[in-house]
């Protein structure tokens, strides 16, 4: 038997993941949402119905597994994910890890670092969740989430990279990352590999945030996988337009990198805190930011530009 991966409903052989979306959020909240519950109350029924709707929608396109790498402090909710999975039959992989310094909740581990225990604490957090389960449940993360800032991996963030690499070496768990505004992809890959992580077990996220082909090649040459995982997010959070993503992607496909690329949307199907309010211009730019956009719009576009079914298929399988 080959390798296994944990889903929120138990572990499965990696080859049973099938067609996969590598980066979607069933629920997400920027840290701080929990202070605004008076006007942005958390409605468990709404979260479940939004998640179930999203899971059923991607299922129609043959998706079997969704990876939800919501950081621990951004509203990660494994029990909700389990309910969505049981209601729809979609396999869901959740993560363990903290968000990048600029948008994560840093105070807790910075305080613990000042007392000298943060590294030990983070190691225990990863290992307990991986071996026993999250917060007293038997639901285990299938992947570690790491994140870095624009143009740097800060000392705070590096602490998580160091420990994740150690935990990977002990458990074999995969690693998925957040890169900020199209920076630090190659650096993240090299750092993790130097720390002893197997390149094929690393997914460098949000690589489609950078349209420079050398940046892409520099990362891909290390042997890692990359996420072109923000289709539908245009201009928001510094993202390029879909058309620019597609042009970059096609160049990489022409160079034969399809086995190292995964497509996804980084969609957020239920916001913790208040629902989003956007002006008309922003709303127009992100009108396609939903988890079936790739199937409805991007794949037809790729096909019309000569990309074959076989190559497109490769970009939905973690194991190729
Ligand atoms: Zn994300």
132-173: pLDDT as tens digits: 999 999 999 999 999 999 999 999 999 999 999 999 999 999
Residue 1 has pLDDT above 60, yes or no: no
Tokens in use for 4? Answer: 């296994």
Question: For residue 53, what pLDDT is reported?
Answer: 98
The pLDDT of 257-275, averaged and rounded, is 97
Angle ∠(65,130,179) on CA atoms, nearest 5? 65
Cα 1 to middle of ligand 1, angstroms = 31
pLDDT score of 2: 61
Mean pLDDT of 4-13: 98
Distance 69 CA to ligand 1 centre (A): 6
Work out the percent of the chain whose per-residue pLDDT is above 90: 97
pLDDT in tens, 218-237: 999 999 999 999 999 999 88
Distance from the CA of 206 to the center of ligand 1, in angstroms? Answer: 8
Q: What does the pLDDT look like over 271-310, one tens digit per residue?
A: 999 999 999 999 999 999 999 999 999 999 999 999 999 9
Give 177's strand partners: 146
Each residue of 24-48: b (16+ CB within 10 Å) or e? bbbbbbebebeeeeeebebeeeebb
**Cα-to-centroid distance, 68 and ligand 1 (Å):** 8
Residue 238 is predicted with a pLDDT of: 83
Share of the chain above pLDDT 70, in %: 99
Given pLDDT bands bounded at 50, 70 and 90, which one contains residue 36? very high
Q: 230 alpha carbon to ligand 1 midpoint, in Å?
A: 8
pLDDT tops 80 at residue 320:
no
SS3 for 221?
Answer: coil
**Gap from CA of 229 to ligand 1 centroid (Å):** 8
């Amino acid at each position: 038997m080959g390798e296994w991966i944990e889903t929120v409903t138990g572990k499965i052989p990696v080859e049973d993941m099938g067609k996969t979306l590598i980066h979607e959020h069933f629920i997400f909240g920027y840290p701080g949402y929990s202070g605004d519950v008076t006007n942005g109350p958390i409605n468990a029924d709404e979260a479940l119905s939004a998640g179930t709707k999203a899971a059923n929608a991607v299922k129609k396109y043959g998706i079997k597994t969704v990876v939800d790498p919501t950081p621990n402090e951004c509203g990660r909710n494994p029990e909700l994910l389990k309910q969505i999975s049981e209601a729809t039959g979609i396999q869901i992989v959740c993560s363990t890890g903290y968000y990048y310094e600029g948008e994560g909740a840093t105070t807790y581990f910075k305080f613990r670092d000042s007392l000298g225990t943060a590294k030990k604490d983070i190691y225990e957090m990863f290992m307990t969740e991986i071996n026993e389960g999250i917060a007293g449940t038997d639901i285990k993360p299938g992947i570690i989430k790491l994140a870095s800032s624009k143009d740097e991996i800060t000392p705070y963030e590096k602490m998580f990279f160091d420990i994740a690499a150690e935990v990977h070496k002990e458990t074999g768990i995969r690693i998925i990352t957040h890169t900020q505004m199209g920076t630090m992809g190659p650096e993240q890959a090299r750092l993790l590999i130097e720390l002893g992580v197997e390149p094929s077990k690393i997914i460098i996220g949000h690589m489609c945030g950078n349209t420079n082909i050398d940046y892409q090649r520099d990362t891909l040459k290390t042997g890692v996988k990359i996420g072109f995982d923000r289709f539908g997010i245009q201009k928001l959070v510094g993202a390029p337009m879909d058309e620019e993503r597609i042009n970059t992607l096609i160049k990489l496909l022409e160079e034969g990198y399809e086995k190292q690329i995964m497509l996804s949307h980084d969609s957020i199907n239920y916001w913790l805190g208040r629902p989003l309010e956007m002006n008309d211009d922003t709303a127009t730019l992100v009108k396609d930011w939903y988890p079936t956009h790739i199937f409805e719009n991007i794949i037809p576009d790729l096909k019309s530009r000569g990309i074959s079914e076989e190559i497109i298929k490769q970009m939905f399988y973690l194991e190729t």
